[in-house]
Structure 1
Amino acid sequence: MTTNNPISTPFTNESTAMDVIQGVDLGGRRAIVTGGSSGIGVETARALAGAGAQVTLAVRNTDAGQRAADDITATTGNDQVLAAPLDLADQASIADFVANWDGPLNILVDNAGIMAAPLSRTPQGWEMQFATNHLGHFALAAGLRNALAAADGARIVSVSSAAHLRSPVVFDDIQFDSREYEPWQAYGQSKTANVLFAVEASRRWADDGILANSLTPGAIKTNLQRYVSEEELNRMRAGNAAAWKTVEQGAATSVLVAASPLLDGVGGRYFEDCQEAGPAQPGERRGVAGYALDPEAAERLWQVSTDLLKS
């Protein structure tokens, strides 16, 4: 799996997805990008397609997905860019997507998500941010495990956020059944779950040649913030010492984790600004929380998630 030496790369917070993918040949590889019709998802998909991969945009809105696919084809010359329906909050939709997938899968980019949404629940009673951002991607990866194993060296990219520093996974009340709902805490919990998933997937699936890493893309203005007021966005900007990124820069770390040969054999790590992140320091919005890399929490979350999907 990995050594304990931190991974460093020649790229920075200003690097773009195209900078990172330069010189990488993904011909013959197949990739899925959830939420690939806008934001950093479409730029991640564009970089992978530009390197020759066949890319499937897994999206709720297939019209928007097809427009994005056509745009990527026009800008890269790669006509192997497809759009397929996927609603991560709907387990039946995930099952249909998995059933329709045929053959090996080299790269799974778990990119889609919702942020700081008002309280809503799935029909199962699951809190919507946890259900979409974590459980949906968990079910998708589990359903595609055989396809990933068949690729012999597959990578899973788990797009987390610096917001994971807001909350661990609160196992005693994941679904906010008894505690008061707070949108940012719920989002933070789901983003911690994204990091823990990468830790445990790498441990469980390494023998299948499957490795997973997580990352924060940085601060980027996208549709993800549709539930966030302009006033709150301004506070976030003021409290973030790092510069806000373009979507092309925001996609860079996802592309690094998805395709860079610098990460061959690396799993269970968390990346930031195209580098492996160090431990988070009190009062800072950088680095990775210890609870997000905790192997016991990762194993517990895996079991809880498996049990929820069976119920």
Structure 2
Amino acid sequence: MATRITTPFGFASTAAEVLDGVDLAGRRAIVTGGASGIGVETARALAGAGAEVTIAVRKREAGDRTAEDIIATTGNKQVLVADLDLADQASVRRFTAGWEGPLHILVNNAGVMAAPETRTPEGWELQFATNHLGHFALTTGLHEALAAAEGARVVSVSSSAHLRSAVVFDDIHFRERPYEPWSAYGQSKTANVLFAVEATRRWADDGIAVNSLMPGGIRTNLQRHVTDEELDRLRAAVGGGGPKWKTPEQGAATSVLVAASPLLDGIGGRYFEDCDEAEPHRPGTRSGVAAHALDPEAAERLWQVSVDTLG
């Protein structure tokens, strides 16, 4: 059994604290969903450490505003904005075709949570299509750029919601079973962890490390489909009022740890929370990593299903 990784950082650490003293000059990063929530603070911390950061966004105006804000607060003028809609495979292809040169850091941060039943034009369930398939197509489409960086890192932002559901291979898109928003979200977040497991196995020889993480509970636009009453109910259901909220700066800390901390050099295929590698999940808790999310056979199967689905 590999030794569990712990760091000097924890629940309350901020992204800026995690990257304090880390020099990312000459490194190029992409943050999906970089114009809202923890994506903003992830991009800000990477830019603050000297990286060139491209924030990939659905809403250009929000992206432009965020880039101006990050430039103003960090003094780093290398903050760029690019259009990307992860639920639209043509948009993903345009983005990857337009990328030139090496890519050192890819933070797959964007996502949709607990959405009402929605399907893409292909008939795919929206949360799986966005949170997994969109990021899968993006990352595999940027594989050459990541390999060219010689030591690239990919960050797969998952959630403790992965504990709710394994990937239901027999009915991923809820064509047979009744649609349930949290099961759909949980399945997509398990897929984010499984992706890190299999991508690390396939790409380790290219110097690409892929890890997943739980950022913590942060009240952001991600929960736009979730009422305050629903959140209170969920928090009460897990006992003790549920998880404590983090600020967006704290929520981005584990992302930037996985993206750029020298403490994780050469580490891949693992799941982190509160800036440490997670322990195995214990029943009755909302922390730790489920065995179904680290299962190498499920990870390999998901990869093949994703390739087949994207055609």
Common fold: TM-score over 0.5: yes
Q: Deviations over 1:198-231 (max 9, x none)?
A: 0000000011111100000010000000000110
Aligned match of 1:115 in 106, 113, 116?
A: 113
User: Matches of 1:4 and 1:232 in 2, distance apart?
Assistant: 38
Whether 1:255 and 2:256 are equivalent positions in the alignment is yes
User: Matches of 1:231 and 1:130 in 2, distance apart?
Assistant: 25
* Shift in Å, 1:243: 1.5
User: Matches of 1:112 and 1:243 in 2, distance apart?
Assistant: 22
Whether 1:154 and 2:152 are equivalent positions in the alignment is yes
User: Matches of 1:236 and 1:113 in 2, distance apart?
Assistant: 19
* Shift in Å, 1:183: 0.1
Match of 1:284 in 2: 285
Match of 1:235 in 2: 233
The AA in structure 2 aligned to 1:58 is A
User: Matches of 2:230 and 2:47 in 1, distance apart?
Assistant: 35
Match of 2:88 in 1: 90
Q: Which structure 1 residue ranges, 5 or more long, are not aligned?
A: none
The AA in structure 2 aligned to 1:294 is D
Aligned match of 2:185 in 174, 184, 187?
A: 187
Normalised by the length of structure 1, the TM-score is: 0.98
Normalised by the length of structure 2, the TM-score is: 0.98
**1:213 alignment partner, SS class:** strand
How many pairs does the alignment contain? 308
Match of 2:273 in 1: 272
Aligned match of 1:48 in 46, 49, 53?
A: 46
The AA in structure 2 aligned to 1:203 is R
User: Matches of 1:236 and 1:12 in 2, distance apart?
Assistant: 24
Match of 2:296 in 1: 295
The AA in structure 1 aligned to 2:295 is D
Aligned match of 1:224 in 222, 225, 250?
A: 222
* Shift in Å, 1:241: 3.9
Match of 1:177 in 2: 175
User: Matches of 1:242 and 1:204 in 2, distance apart?
Assistant: 35
Match of 2:204 in 1: 206
Q: Deviations over 1:270-298 (max 9, x none)?
A: 00000000110111100000000000000
User: Matches of 1:291 and 1:273 in 2, distance apart?
Assistant: 21
**2:267 alignment partner, SS class:** coil
User: Matches of 1:212 and 1:81 in 2, distance apart?
Assistant: 23
CA contact (8 A) 2:234 2:242 kept: no
User: Matches of 2:98 and 2:234 in 1, distance apart?
Assistant: 40
Aligned match of 2:65 in 67, 88, 109?
A: 67
* Shift in Å, 1:237: 3.4
Q: Deviations over 1:13-59 (max 9, x none)?
A: 00000110101000000000000001000000000000000000000
**1:65 alignment partner, SS class:** helix
CA contact (8 A) 2:211 2:269 kept: yes
User: Matches of 1:21 and 1:56 in 2, distance apart?
Assistant: 18
User: Matches of 2:64 and 2:15 in 1, distance apart?
Assistant: 21
**1:164 alignment partner, SS class:** helix
User: Matches of 1:159 and 1:43 in 2, distance apart?
Assistant: 14
The AA in structure 1 aligned to 2:118 is S
* Shift in Å, 1:236: 2.9
**2:97 alignment partner, SS class:** helix
Q: Percent of pairs identical after alignment?
A: 74
Q: Deviations over 1:83-113 (max 9, x none)?
A: 1000000000000001110000000000000
User: Matches of 1:237 and 1:199 in 2, distance apart?
Assistant: 29
Q: Which structure 2 residue ranges, 5 or more long, are not aligned?
A: none
Match of 2:135 in 1: 137
Aligned match of 1:28 in 26, 29, 33?
A: 26
User: Matches of 1:271 and 1:241 in 2, distance apart?
Assistant: 19
Structure 1 vs Structure 2 CA RMSD: 0.8
